[in-house]
Amino acid sequence: MTGKEIIGGISVIVGMAGQGLYLWQLLRHTIKPHIFSWIIWGLLGLTGFAAQYAAKAGPGCWAMGVSSLFCFVIAAAGIFYGEKSITRGDWICFILLLSAIPAWMATNNPLWAVVIVSAIDAGAFYPTFRKSWANPHDEGVTAFYIYALQMVFSLAAMESFTVTTALYPAVILVMNLVLTSTLLYRRRLLA
């Protein structure tokens, strides 16, 4: 195994630990995921994995592929155990983000495709941020921190490190850190 493959494997293991923790918290009813965020993250993760794979990201794309599958599992579990308060703003965000996916697929420029996917992914955080602002204990801080760490390993495992291969995981890294900071801030304010 090469060093990149080892780091890629670590990114998968770290991601599975975060996803496993999140699923465990979800099934124990200690958190409530917003299904809209997880559906979008699953769709984008799967297509992001395919784009990274095609752009020769190598082991750097493994984490994205595994994470996207877990996103669909969390979305499915969220139907039963997730956030039930869906606002009009959530619906608008969800529909706008879904309608942007064909624009991403229609672009023939890989860089623009990654820019669009990254923007859609960042937008998918809106429903989770909105519900977490009011109920910061309904999200798993540790799991989102682990997701950020997973993207650090994913970036380190990239065989071809370009804006096209690295932007999407970098945006995921930043958004997860912003969410964990927001959750910790809100928890402290409400304590």
Q: List, for residues 95-152, the tens digit of each pLDDT value.
A: 887 887 787 677 777 788 788 888 888 999 999 999 999 999 999 999 999 999 999 9
Number of neighbouring beta carbons within 10 Å of residue 174: 14
Q: Which two tokens stand for residue 10?
A: 């670590």
Residue 71 has pLDDT above 90, yes or no: yes
Burial (CB count within 10 angstroms: exposed 0-12, middle 13-18, buried 19+), residue 15: buried
Question: Residue 80: what pLDDT?
Answer: 92
| Proportion of the chain above pLDDT 70, given as a percent | 99
Residue 70: alpha-carbon gap to chain centroid: 10
CA separation for the pair 97, 110 (Å, rounded): 19
Question: Is the pLDDT reported for residue 177 higher than 90?
Answer: yes
Q: How far apart are CA 12 and CA 68, in angstroms?
A: 11
pLDDT of 17 above 90: yes
Q: State the Cα torsion 56-61-64-67 to the nearest 10°.
A: 140
- Report which of residues 53 and 128 the model is more confident about: 128
Q: How many domains does the chain have?
A: 1
Q: Is the pLDDT of residue 51 over 90?
A: no
The per-residue pLDDT for 1 is: 77
Better pLDDT: 8 or 1: 8
Say yes or no to pLDDT of 55 above 80.
Answer: no
Q: What is the 3-state secondary structure (H, E, C) of 66-98?
A: HHHHHHHHHHHHHHHHCCCCCCHHHHHHHHHHH
Q: What domain range includes position 7?
A: 3-190
Only one residue has tokens 């699923």, namely 23
Range from 14-28, 45-59, 91-105 that averages highest in pLDDT: 14-28
120 half-sphere exposure, CB direction, 13 A CA radius: 29
> Which helix (DSSP H) or strand (DSSP E) does residue 103 occupy?
helix 88-106
pLDDT digits (tens, 9 = 90+) for 57-70: 788 888 888 999 99
